[in-house]
Chain A
Amino acid sequence: MDFFISLFSDPIGFWSSHSLLIGQIGINGIIATSMFLVLYSGQLSLAAPGFMAIGAYTTVLMSNHWHTPGVLNTVVAALLAGVLGLLVGLPVLRLRGVFLAIATIGFIEALRLGVILNVPFTGEGLGLSNTTGADPLGGINIILLSLIAVVFVIWRLTKGRLGNAWAAIRQDELAALSQGIHVARYKMIAFVMSALIAGYAGALESRLLFNIDPGDAQYGVTRAVQVLTFAVLGGSGFVLGPVVGALIVTLLPYIFGGAGPYINIVAGIFLIAVIIFRPQGIVGRGGLAIVRPSWWPRARVSAPSTE
């Protein structure tokens, strides 16, 4: 609880003493937005950690070998992730639902265990030292500004023509196709944009780390499941949902700080409770109602799904 009291009693001190945590929340928010984009267009893709790895390794390799400025590295990293997104998307986007999820898990694990662990210049299992590029304190403002910019852009897109097409595809792909929506193209746009954003988030995240390594919690399935949790917990019907999910999940160790070593038990129970009482996500239809009284007019929960 001290954590939250200090947020209000001493905001400036809070900011400087928890800057790394704030940075991590910002990064997770950006990745959650990347996840939102694929879910919003009806694709259950878990490829984000793979693109993050591409972004992070590109940034660190460029700054270590060529000593190029961080801005250039970040841009190149994001673009490279986008290009890879296009290459991966071409064969993979024919798949739907859980098949797409498993195929993208195959992609991230093949990248992490097959490529990164075996190519000499990635430092293999030990990872890469990032002493030249890391800037944990200076990176926070850029991260938070990026989060706001990314969320704003995606929010505008979902309100426009593109967003309508995505929503139509998510609700019924066949109907969208019969209305003349180029389903494959719009899905690819969402997938590539999501890869771009994930690559950008990976590049930004590498600035918080003095050493990047191909750990499971960093670029593997564990991370992918965590990002999916952000999106589903927060609600994938509105841009801010996944960001709220990222905020809550990242803060869980602080919210339940009193649980001590049993934090994961409490966090797991919390996760189940939220999903059961608000299956449409925290930010979703139904206002703030947690449990409806039985006499309340019932509406079917209709959250966007990737069905």
Chain B
Amino acid sequence: MGQQILNAIFIGSIYALFAVGYTLVFGVLDILNLAHSAVFMLGAAVTYSLVVNYEQSFWVACIGGILASALMGLVIEHVCLRPLRRRHAPPIAALISPIGLALVIVAAVEQGKPGSLAGWLWKDGANSVAFPPGAIPNPTWHVGDITLEASKVAIIPIAIALMLLLGYVIRYTQVGRGLRAVAENARAARLMGLDVDRMISLTLVISSALGGLAGILFGVALSDISPYIGRDAVEVRGLAIIVLGGMGSVAGAVLGGYLLAMIELLAFVAAGSSARNGIAFAALFLMLVLRPQGLFGTRLRERI
């Protein structure tokens, strides 16, 4: 049981890190970035590829994975979102264009086989792979009947430190003030001389870098990297988390991530593995019906 609670905290940290990026984009832009789970997968895939196919050290590969994700954030903004803002498109259009990009990213990794067009990016096609043993420094300790692996334990301080840093940046720095101004009223922010497009690019870069890092940590801790980890592990859960925490609230997303991991653990203990996901989504449904502003949200936004 102790081991299971510990695992729930690891996975909760990954959920939280993923959901923080999701909620940040929603908070600033009022758009659900449905390509976020593809960016999560891309971070893990690039890191794995750098370690195994290009024989880089793990730390270099991590930086490469995060940079690739951040770059993908810029692509999302410049290809999928900015042209639509320029055209005053209906908000629902901005839900669909990132889906197209996610399709491209997943298909590119999926088709990455030796000799194919995307072979430089990924060589294992649709298979699920894991980092080879020894690639990651991973000391293991035993405390009572609990096993502590460094690769998992490290997730918790990394996630918490990054989220505290993000909270500090948003609340106390000039950049953070700019982001909050754009979130509050983009038009007024532009009139005050803020470069709104730049702020939005920055939001997507931060969000995607966090999403990619969450993917790397997921790949390291769960030994499962495939083109589908984004879709299967975090896509819908991410939505559940940002709803639990209140849409657009960074602190809420963090707590929501841990909360969802705990709900899943309780459902698993109470009803077995097959009911786990169903119960998590039933909880999400009830949550939205009973308290749509989330556990920690104060006001309800109604825009897409």
Contacts and interface: CB of A to CB of B under 8 A. Distances in A.
Contact of A109 (B32, B89, B107, B278): B278
28 contacts: A94-B292, A99-B247, A99-B288, A99-B292, A102-B239, A105-B236, A107-B285, A109-B278, A110-B281, A113-B277, A113-B281, A118-B274, A125-B274, A229-B96, A232-B96, A262-B111, A264-B103, A264-B104, A265-B108, A269-B104, A271-B99, A272-B80, A275-B93, A276-B87, A279-B84, A301-B89, A305-B90, A307-B91
B304 A306 contact: yes
Contacts of A221: 235-236
Nearest to B111: A261
Interface residues of B, number: 53
A258 to B, nearest CB: 14
A39 B90 CA distance: 12
A233 B110 CA distance: 25
Interface in A94-126: 94-99, 101-103, 105-107, 109-110, 112-115, 117-118, 124-125
Contacts of A98: 26, 32, 247, 303-304
Given A268-B104, A275-B96, A105 B84 contact: no
Interface of B: 26, 32, 34, 79-80, 83-84, 87-93, 95-97, 99-104, 106-108, 110-111, 116-117, 231, 235-236, 239-240, 243, 247, 274-275, 277-279, 281-282, 284-285, 288-289, 292, 300, 302-304
A276 B97 contact: yes
Nearest to B110: A264
Contacts of B292: 94-95, 99
A63 B68 CA distance: 52
A161 interface: no
B304 A272 contact: no
Given A98-B304, A118-B275, A265-B107, A110 B90 contact: no
Between B95, B111, B247, the greatest number of chain A beta carbons within 10 A of the residue's beta carbon is seen for B95
Contacts of B34: 225
Nearest to A225: B99
A44 interface: yes
A270 B97 CA distance: 10
A7 B263 CA distance: 53
A276 B103 contact: no
A118 B303 CA distance: 36
A97 B278 contact: no
B209 to A, nearest CB: 22
A262 B278 CA distance: 34
A92 interface: yes
A91 interface: yes
B96 A262 contact: no
A218 to B, nearest CB: 15
A293 to B, nearest CB: 15
Given A91-B289, A229-B96, A272-B100, A106 B88 contact: no
Given A97-B302, A102-B243, 10 more contacts: A94-B292, A98-B26, A101-B32, A106-B285, A114-B277, A117-B274, A261-B116, A271-B100, A272-B104, A303-B93
B166 to A, nearest CB: 22
Nearest to B86: A276
A304 interface: yes
B110 to A, nearest CB: 7
A275 B84 contact: yes
A71 to B, nearest CB: 33
A280 B87 CA distance: 10
Contacts of B303: 97-98, 307
A32 to B, nearest CB: 14
Contact of B284 (A102, A228, A236): A102
Nearest to B242: A102
B90 A280 contact: yes
Interface in A249-282: 261-265, 267-272, 275-276, 279-280
Contacts of B100: 267-272, 275
Contacts of A102: 239-240, 243, 284, 288
Task: Return the 9 tightest CB-CB contacts between A and B, nearest first.
Answer: A114-B278, A279-B89, A264-B107, A305-B90, A271-B100, A268-B103, A106-B285, A268-B104, A272-B100
A300 interface: yes
B293 to A, nearest CB: 9
A106 B281 contact: yes
A52 to B, nearest CB: 17
B289 A92 contact: yes
Contacts of A232: 92-93, 95-96
Contacts of A267: 100, 103
Interface string A64-79: 0000000000000000
Given A92-B289, A268-B103, A269-B100, A279 B87 contact: yes
A115 B103 contact: no
